[in-house]
Amino acid sequence: MGMLEGKVAIITGAGRGLGREEALAMAREGCNLVINDLGASFDGTGAESKVADQVAEECKKLGVKAVGNYDSVTDFNKAKAMIDQAVSEFGKLDIVVNNAGILRDRMIFNMTEAEFDAVIAVHLKGTFNMTRHAAEYFRKVGKDDPKLKNFGRIINTASDAGLLGNVGQANYGAAKAGIAAFTLIVSEELKKYATVNCVVPMARTRLTVDATPQTAGIMQKKDSSGFDVFDPAHFAPLIVYLASDDARRVNGEVFRAAGDKVWVYRGWHSVNRIDNNGKPFTPQELAERVKSDLLKGLPQKDTIQGVASEVLGLM
């Protein structure tokens, strides 16, 4: 019997890459699935329904029920319809994995309003739309049957581009950092009915290869033993675990996973302080003490390149 036997999940952006691997891993553990994918290119343009249908067929061959959905997560009402589709098709909903995403990279001095808005809409608003309607459903079901306790699972997808920063991705990074903060807040609001966690993949996908050529070379590398650390299939087990009953007490956490490694984050926290003996600082005093005292000896910031080197065993 699988870890997700008889459960029902929606995975957005599940037609390719990480979403597809997550769907297949969940199907192997007995989960019935709504496979959502617009079938667009990595920048969000175009649409092709067969992308979702093909993954649904792959899942069916693993012995579960699966249906395709081709709507955009940016539409508030269509997100609600996705929740309704799962309940109508399978009788209930247990899990939502918010994975859909696009990229429109640009340096900030060249970025257009449309490029910013489109990325925020898919990642941040899309995560809100799906979570909002799933939360309403989980709360209603949980109140109707208190014995279920926190039966629901919401898993959001962030990125080191937001948590550590990455040049050329102000729109994407802002959305991903927002998703991490959104997760922390919503996990407290929903804890009676559902767990809400966030994951940060470091894996080879269209967004890390086709859309960002500067990382393509790294993503193709293997470690010294020949292990393909950035294979997206290695990330999927974390999703299965967080979606399972075994993770019922894991809530409001942010995890990164790559290859054979899993990290847990802690967000913004104070690392140093200066005092002024009961008096407000003057600008002149700050000019003297910020560099010399406040910023002196701080731990080095993590970087995406540093994490990638760690995964490859180069550090």
Catalytic positions: 159, 172, 176
How many helices, marked H, and strands, marked E, lie in the chain?
11, 8
| d(C-alpha 116, C-alpha 256), whole Å | 25
In the chain, what's the furthest Cα-to-Cα distance? Answer: 70
Q: Is beta strand 261-264 parallel, antiparallel or unpaired with respect to 254-258? A: antiparallel
- Does residue 168 sit in helix, strand or coil? coil
User: Is 201 in contact with 283 (CB distance < 8 Å)?
Assistant: no
| Residue 267: both structure tokens together | 């967000």
**Residue in the block written with tokens 């459903």:** 137
| d(C-alpha 109, C-alpha 188), whole Å | 37
- In DSSP terms, 195 is beta-bridged to 153
Measured in whole angstroms, how far is the alpha carbon of residue 97 from the centre of its chain?
8
| Residue 103: both structure tokens together | 């990229």
- Does residue 140 sit in helix, strand or coil? helix
Q: Tell me the CB-side half-sphere exposure of residue 80, using CA atoms within 13 A.
A: 3
